[in-house]
Structure 1
């Protein structure tokens, strides 16, 4: 085992290590940007959760301490269902009949910018922050990457 490590290290050039370190540091950039974005949200901002099915908003709720516990069921198609649960300042996809259960495993979301997605059902739960006058705080620009 030690021989294999020595062999691979002998094949590395000095610039390879620099590139690896740069890529490692760059992998944390999205976390830094998200943290900066969250820090710019005022304490008096209103936090909303929206549930969209096939791009159409079907449910919207303000997430606050006063929001009552609520469970609702959506049927994106005849043989599909999603049970969405709201509990105060958080929301989750409690149960669905999708094959991978990725939306269910995501768990509770509560911070602006977080999403929970169930691709087979085309269901998206998004958290948004709005100023008290009703204007959205975050940029909601869609980024399209050409293939």
Structure 2
């Protein structure tokens, strides 16, 4: 069986495989570089970046929640459309979709998110929770969770 497979592989196949393997790591390098730049900018300003969760439904931001060690545990329910619900849980520096009434439960199975760039997406309800970082103190809406 391996002899037949070996006959089908050509020298260029190895080169193409190696190139594809190297290219697959480019997004990781870009993301790591951007994280490093963000931390360096925060260090230059002598301020810690503010981490916050942005909750949007139908591409409209409905809540921004500051995530810090002082953020208390909180549960709240969102009703994106009639007959739909999402129970969102905030606990310190992390947030999750604890419960919803979708058949696939993808957002619920995503679990806790806490790092900038992470997302929890509930497609049937068109609800997206995104973790973002900012050095501006006015970005998060602290009306939901106060430190």
Report the TM-score, using the length of structure 2 for normalisation: 0.84
Equivalent residue, structure 1, for 2:17: 20
> Is residue 83 from structure 1 mapped to residue 87 from structure 2 by the alignment?
yes
Equivalent residue, structure 1, for 2:34: 37
* Bigger Cα displacement from structure 2, 5-14 vs 120-129: 5-14
Q: Determine if contact 2:67/2:94 at 8 Å carries over to the other structure.
A: yes
* Bigger Cα displacement from structure 2, 34-43 vs 20-29: 34-43
Gaps of 5+ in 1: 136-147
What is the CA–CA distance in structure 1 between the aligned matches of 2:101 and 2:3, rounded to whole Å?
50
1:118 to 122, 140, 147: 122
CA RMSD of aligned residues (A): 1.5
* Bigger Cα displacement from structure 2, 78-87 vs 28-37: 28-37
What is the CA–CA distance in structure 2 between the aligned matches of 1:16 and 1:85, rounded to whole Å?
49
Q: Determine if contact 2:95/2:112 at 8 Å carries over to the other structure.
A: yes
What is the CA–CA distance in structure 2 between the aligned matches of 1:54 and 1:72, rounded to whole Å?
19
Gaps of 5+ in 2: 43-47, 140-147
| Runs of 4 or more consecutive aligned structure 1 residues displaced over 6 Å after TM superposition | none
Report the TM-score, using the length of structure 1 for normalisation: 0.84
Q: How big is the shift at 1:29?
A: 1.6
* Cα deviation code 1:38-90 (max 9, x no counterpart): 22223511011011011111111111001111111101111111011111001
Q: How big is the shift at 1:134?
A: 4.6
What is the CA–CA distance in structure 2 between the aligned matches of 1:120 and 1:21, rounded to whole Å?
39
Q: How big is the shift at 1:35?
A: 1.7
- Within 5 Å, give how 1:125-144 maps onto structure 2: 125-132=129-136, 134=138
